[in-house]
């Protein structure tokens, strides 16, 4: 009795075949390139047929395949996958926009600056959400440092779209404030306040002041360089904020030493993998033929998370919270290792 | 019975215990629900006052707002008045019987507080409030988990399920022999 109706519906709307569900690897066309500052380029992408794109959560990023001159030494690749935060509010987009800082290291960001032009097709994957707002936030404190403004702008636009309230702290060097005009325009609306800071001391002062005066139920989000994020975490702790209200996204990781040798056992097969210093568990797993999704390979993105059954761990990533680290049941295989030289761990793969 | 750590029941809701003051808080609201009536101090009230005094002694230089209230309604009113202009960095500590603590927790959650901003000092955990899924009445009784009681609204015999609502603080109750009722698939 209901079967024909279901069939008709499937005919009209094949589940998850609508283009707005597509998040796999696909090509998008560059339709606009805007120079925001001397070192930041804003790139706007559309589907080649101009159709709808997948919606995304605020703070999500798009993975872009780039062809840099200088490649990571580890592999025989000719391309690299870079993650760039989307700047829109994420609701029914027809365009994806990212803002890319030129790093000047010959990497993927330089390729975006030097090689991309309007009309080009680029290969993308996602969007992927890794820095989403909490759905029960009563108010948001959004903190941006430098190019870390991109996910913060996305959060702020979403807050405005859904009628929420937020305070934004933007720390930038004069003349290098990408999206400053966009944030000032948002701050003209009721419920949105913008605090600008242009020196390290000023930023620390504003952070201390704003953390001390946020209404109950506020969640804080920050993206920026490591020293600013350290100042952000310190200011939150000084104001008595519990860890669960303080969220951040890092885009650079500190240099790590080669680490200790350890042994990993793969639970499903019993296979034992010796992981020497200088080799990551991720590399060892991939070499042994195990499929482990990975992206940044520096403990920032969280893509290569593997479940762990037993063994002492040394967590060296910037993704897991303190409580997740102490639980000892998962690790980021790209940077984290056995807890001591000769440690035995069992990964649940 | 299922392991209680796998349920929505906080440990203190079935085993009386006093959680310590969170030293990272800037401001603490202490709510003690004493249960004292007109006839004077009850044993519960004495225990609650001891818990609150212990928290006061352990809270260092943080700002304190202390409310000793006779019943849950007064406790919630005092808490809500405190939280109107509260900032993040505020912690709430509630002392009383488990059912009083669950009821005040519900008000704290409504006000926007998260679990890591709440601490409880439970002096007794015998009485539970049970919400009937059939008639929505709430019955308070000294009843254990997985035991039966009679619903004050519809007189059905309810089994006390090991689930407690964060929104209301009541346990879930449903008809104990629900599977045995004569019941047919509707046409």
Q: ipTM, 2 decimals?
A: 0.86
- Pair (A18, A93) in one structural domain: yes
Is residue A325 included in any domain, yes or no?
yes
In a domain, A143, yes or no: yes
* Pair (A15, A97) in one structural domain: yes
Phi-psi region of A119 (alpha: psi -120 to 50; beta: other; left: phi over 0): left
A209 CB-near residues (< 8 Å, 6+ apart) = none
Domain-embedded: residue A115: yes
CB nearest to B88's CB, from A136, A243, A245: A245
One domain, residues A222 and A305: no
Q: Each residue of A288-332: pLDDT tens digit?
A: 889 888 887 878 778 899 999 999 999 988 888 888 899 989 999
Number of domain units in chain A: 3
Q: Which residue range is the domain that position A167 belongs to? A: 139-249
B56 membership: H or E segment, kind and range: helix B43-58
Asked if residue A30 is part of any domain, the answer here is yes
Of A115 and A73, more confident: A115
Tell me, what CATH number does A307's domain have? 3.10.20.30
Measured CA to CA, the distance from residue A314 to residue A252 in angstroms comes to 20
pLDDT value at residue B36: 82
Q: Residue B185: pLDDT above 70?
A: no
Q: What is the mean pLDDT of residues A172-197?
A: 96
Whether omega for the bond prior to residue B110 falls within 30 degrees of 0, making it cis, is: no
Tell me the Cα Rg of chain A: 22
B110 vs A contacts (CB less than 8 Å): none
Specify whether A328 is located in the same domain as A307.
yes
Between chain A and chain B, the number of residue pairs with CB atoms below 8 A apart is 50
Strand-pairing partners, residue B32, are: B68, B95
Boundary (domain end) residue, out of A195, A226, A249: A249
**Domain containing residue A120: CATH number:** 2.40.30.10
Task: Give one DSSP letter per residue of A14-82, joined into a string.
Answer: -TTTSGGG--SSEEEEEEEEEE-SSSEEEEEEE-TT--------TT-EEEEEE--SS--TTS--S-EEE
Q: Are A105 and A182 within one domain?
A: no
C-alpha of A314 from chain center: 23
Q: Touching check for A240 and chain B: CB below 8 Å?
A: yes
User: Are A330 and A272 contained in the same domain?
Assistant: yes
Nearest by CB to B112, which of A217, A237, A244? A217
pLDDT in the model for residue A90:
95
Q: What percent of chain A has pLDDT over 90?
A: 66
- Percent of chain A beyond pLDDT 70? 92
Same-domain status, A313 and A239: no
Same domain, A227 and A287: no
> Is residue A165 within 8 Å of A135, Cβ to Cβ?
no
Q: Do B88 and A239 touch (CB under 8 A)?
A: yes
What's the CATH number where A160 sits?
Answer: 3.40.50.80
Return the pLDDT at A127: 93
The answer to whether residues A231 and A181 belong to one domain is yes
> Mapping DSSP to helix (H, G, I), strand (E, B) and coil, where does residue A131 land?
coil
Domains of chain B: 17-124 (3.40.50.2300), 127-180 (no CATH)
pTM recorded for the entire structure: 0.83
Q: Which residue of A has its CA nearest to B80?
A: A216
A47 and A150: one domain?
no
- Alpha-carbon distance values, A349 to A42, A47, A290 (Å): 40, 36, 8
> Tens of pLDDT along A126-154?
898 889 999 999 999 999 999 999 999 99
Same structural domain for residues A117 and A15? yes
Q: How far is the alpha carbon of A348 from chain B, nearest alpha carbon, in Å?
A: 22
Chain B interface residues (partner A, CB cutoff 8 A)? 22, 24-27, 83, 86-91, 111-114, 116-117
Tell me the nearest-neighbour CA distance from A136 into chain B, angstroms. 8
């Amino acid at each position: 009795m209901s079967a024909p109706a279901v069939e008709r519906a499937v005919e009209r709307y094949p589940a998850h075949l609508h283009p707005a569900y597509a998040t796999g690897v696909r090509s998008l066309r560059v339709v606009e390139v805007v120079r925001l500052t001397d070192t930041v380029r804003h790139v706007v992408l559309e589907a080649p047929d101009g159709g709808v794109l997948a919606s995304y959560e605020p703070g999500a990023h798009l993975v872009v395949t780039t062809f840099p001159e200088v490649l990571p030494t580890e592999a025989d690749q000719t391309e690299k996958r870079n993650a760039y935060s989307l700047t829109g509010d994420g609701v029914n987009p027809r365009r994806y926009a990212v803002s890319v800082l030129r790093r000047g290291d010959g990497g993927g960001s330089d390729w975006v600056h030097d090689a991309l032009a309007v009309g080009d097709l680029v290969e993308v994957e996602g969007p992927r959400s890794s820095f989403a707002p909490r759905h029960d936030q009563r108010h948001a404190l959004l903190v941006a440092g430098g190019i870390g403004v991109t996910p913060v702008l996305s959060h702020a636009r979403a807050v405005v779209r859904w009628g929420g309230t937020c305070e934004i702290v933007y720390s930038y060097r004069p003349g290098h404030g990408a999206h400053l005009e966009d944030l000032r325009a948002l701050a003209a609306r009721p419920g949105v306040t913008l605090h600008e800071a242009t020196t390290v001391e000023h930023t620390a002062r504003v952070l201390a002041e704003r953390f001390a005066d946020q209404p109950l139920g506020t969640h804080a989000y920050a993206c920026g360089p490591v020293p600013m994020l350290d100042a952000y975490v310190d200011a939150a702790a000084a104001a008595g904020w519990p860890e669960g209200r303080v969220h951040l996204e890092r885009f650079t990781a500190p240099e790590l030493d080669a680490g200790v040798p350890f042994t990993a056992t793969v639970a499903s097969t019993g296979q034992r993998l010796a992981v020497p210093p200088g080799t990551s568990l991720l590399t060892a797993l991939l070499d042994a033929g195990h499929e482990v999704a990975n992206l940044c390979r520096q403990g920032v993105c969280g893509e290569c998370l593997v479940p762990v059954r037993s063994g002492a761990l040394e967590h060296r990533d910037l993704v897991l919270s303190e409580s997740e680290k102490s639980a000892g049941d998962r690790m980021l295989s790209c940077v984290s290792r056995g807890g001591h030289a000769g440690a035995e761990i069992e990964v649940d793969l | 019975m299922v392991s209680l750590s796998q349920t929505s029941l906080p440990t203190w809701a079935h085993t009386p215990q006093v959680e310590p003051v969170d030293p990272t808080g800037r401001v603490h609201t202490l709510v003690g629900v004493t249960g004292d009536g007109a006839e004077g101090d009850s044993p519960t009230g004495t225990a609650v006052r001891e818990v609150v005094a212990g928290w006061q002694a352990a809270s260092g230089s943080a700002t304190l707002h202390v409310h000793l209230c006779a019943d849950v309604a007064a406790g919630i009113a005092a808490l809500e008045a405190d939280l109107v202009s509260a900032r993040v960095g505020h912690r709430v500590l509630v002392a009383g019987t488990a059912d009083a603590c669950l009821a005040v927790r519900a008000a704290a959650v409504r006000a926007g507080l998260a679990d890591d901003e709440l601490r409880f000092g439970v002096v007794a955990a015998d009485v539970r409030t049970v919400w009937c899924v059939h008639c929505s009445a709430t019955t308070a009784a000294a009843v254990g988990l997985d035991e039966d009681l009679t619903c004050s609204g519809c007189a059905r015999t309810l089994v006390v399920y090991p689930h407690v609502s964060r929104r209301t603080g009541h346990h879930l109750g449903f008809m104990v022999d629900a599977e045995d009722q004569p019941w047919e698939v509707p046409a």
